[in-house]
Amino acid sequence: MEPIKIRPAREQVADALRRAIFTGEIQRGEELTQEAVAAQLGVSRMPVREAFLMLERDGLLMLNSHRKAVVRGLTEEDIVDHYDIRALLEGEAAARASVSEEVADIRAAYEDARSAGLRGDAAAFVEANQQFHRAVWEAADNPYLMRFLDQLWRGLPPHLPELVPVQMRQSLADHDQIMSALEAKDPEAARRAMRHHIQRSLQQFLNAWRSGSDS
Amino acid sequence: MEPIKIRPAREQVADALRRAIFTGEIQRGEELTQEAVAAQLGVSRMPVREAFLMLERDGLLMLNSHRKAVVRGLTEEDIVDHYDIRALLEGEAAARASVSEEVADIRAAYEDARSAGLRGDAAAFVEANQQFHRAVWEAADNPYLMRFLDQLWRGLPPHLPELVPVQMRQSLADHDQIMSALEAKDPEAARRAMRHHIQRSLQQFLNAWRSGSDS
DNA sequence: GCGAGAGTTTGTGGATCCAATATCCCAGAC
DNA sequence: GTCTGGGATATTGGATCCACAAACTCTCGC
């Protein structure tokens, strides 16, 4: 038996809200009261308050003293800005990872994503893909980099469900590029490959977003 | 009259704790209880709880369910990592700012810092210096970039008091370089100048740190 | 003397309660 | 008719209360 991590209520509330925002169940501009959310989720206001503070940090809510919380949601511009910074940071992470001792760990995650992709298991792929990226940051071994990337990933839906199948093929091809740059211990090639991967994902995301969000 | 921003108790508590950590009044590894901090600051536990969550995000505290909060403080390695990422992000900000419309705003902040430096007003310089950097991020106009840089600046003491006088001369010279790259609208020169500025600051900071923290 | 286990203490996480402030609505004056 | 002011209402911020989890200690068995 390994020690399990216990998740406080505030995090579960935050997760629930994030999901609701990402799926569009809660719309941009909508106003939330602690009371209403608490009632709907069946908890007291306390964990909701704390969750609101977390979501504010992640840029999903706007809070003002004694005012209701306003859902910031995401504009197309936000998404572009998000991916821009992600490309910068993950590119740096890849460059650092390429000269680290932990390339083997990355390869393991790479293989997982690859096999999930080849057998067409979308859910497993989404999970493994995240592990692959995370393995890169871990190898880069800079707590600030890791913290910011974590925040970024929490700030956008990991994958729009409708585009996962399309994305898998392309992502796997990109991963090949990244992986070989890493194993060649070539920092700049790794940075380029990662940046390219992310910028390409942005295009896919935007296409899906544009067709999905004309509601 | 412009709308003034009201600061909730949690933020003031967080500020007080940050200061205490930066000055060394609270040492690395020390354990804090909500109760004790609340009593000392004369508030209830509630704002302290929320402040703890903020400081955890800034990397200054480690929280575990049902455990006391542990002060993470800063190792020398943390500081290097911190400046590394700051150089990356501020470099990017400078590159973007150089092609923005707001270079004039940056120059205003630059002049403020310069005049404070020339008349040797350390306090004013620290403030104006921060304004200068902030003006650059604002011009870069990417909310994520801004958010992360804000977090970084909150995570380290803005300036070790003893080195401000030394730092002023050098910083002003660096600022000249940055400013002219910005006004030449040369993104890569601006990035280089900013990176150089920050990496040089790191060296000064480390020297002061090493001599200051052998307690 | 030392380790295991129960009981005690301490401290957090979550619920509820109270205070303070912002918004809303309506009445009255000009 | 519109604007101003006051009171009612809604909602958050802060304080207190309670339950549960972790640490600590003391005792008992060996």
Q: Are A96 and A194 in contact (CB under 8 A)?
A: no
Question: What pLDDT does A93 receive?
Answer: 98
Q: CA B191 to CA A164: how far, in whole Å?
A: 36
Give the residue extent of every domain in chain A. Answer: 9-71, 76-212
**pLDDT reading at B2 higher than 90:** no
CATH class of A9-71: mainly alpha
φ/ψ (deg, to 5) at B31: -105, 135
Residue ranges for chain A with pLDDT beneath 70: 1-5, 161-162, 164, 212-215
Instruction: Find the mean pLDDT for residues B109-126.
Output: 91
Give per-residue pLDDT as tens, B59-112: 999 999 999 999 997 889 999 999 999 999 999 999 999 999 999 999 999 999
Residues A109 and B210: their CA atoms lie apart, in Å, by 39
Find the Å distance, CA of residue B1 to C1' of nucleotide C29. Answer: 29
- Specify the range with the lowest mean pLDDT, choosing from B41-50, B74-83, B156-165: B156-165
Calculate the angstrom distance between C1' of D8 and CA of B170. Answer: 61
Output the pLDDT for position A215.
43
Across the A:B interface, residue pairs with CB atoms under 8 Å apart total 56
> Residue A105 has what pLDDT?
94
For residue A107, the model assigns a pLDDT of 97
Chain A residues with beta carbon closer than 8 angstroms to that of B81: 142-145
pLDDT of residue B73: 79
Average pLDDT over residues B120-145: 93
**Strand positions, DSSP E, A28-123:** 31-32, 61-62, 69-71
Angle between helices B122-140 and B143-154 in degrees, nearest 10: 150
d(CA A66, CA B5): 12
B143 lies within 8 A of chain A by CB:
yes
- Calculate the angstrom distance between C1' of D27 and CA of B72: 38
Between B31 and A7, the higher pLDDT residue: B31
Domain A76-212 has CATH 1.20.120.530: yes
Q: How far, in Å, CA of A35 to CA of B55, rounded? A: 26
Residue B215: pLDDT band by 50, 70, 90 thresholds? very low
Contact B180, B197 (CB under 8 A): no
Report the largest interatomic distance among the alpha carbons of chain A, rounded to a whole angstrom.
56
DSSP string, B52-121: HHHHHHTTSEE--TTS-EEE----HHHHHHHHHHHHHHHHHHHHHHHTSS-HHHHHHHHHHHHHHHHTT-
Partners of B31 in the β-ladder: B70
Residue B21's Cβ-side half-sphere holds a number of Cα atoms within 13 Å equal to: 30
Range B43-57 average pLDDT: 96
| Contact (CB<8Å) B148/A148 | yes
Chain A CB contacts of B153 below 8 Å? none
Q: Is it the case that residue B183 has pLDDT exceeding 70?
A: yes
H or E segment at B32?
A: strand B31-32
- Interface contact flag, B50 A54, Cβ < 8 Å: no
d(CA A171, CA A198): 9
**What is the average per-residue pLDDT within B184-205?**
96
State the pLDDT at residue A167: 80
Q: Residue with structure tokens 């003491």?
A: B157
Would you state the pLDDT for residue B208? Answer: 83
Q: Are B113 and B129 in contact (CB under 8 A)?
A: yes
Q: What is the pLDDT of residues B205-214, one digit of tens each?
A: 888 888 766 4
Task: Strand C: list positions under 7 Å from protein Cβ.
Answer: 10-17, 20-23
Residue B7's pLDDT is 87
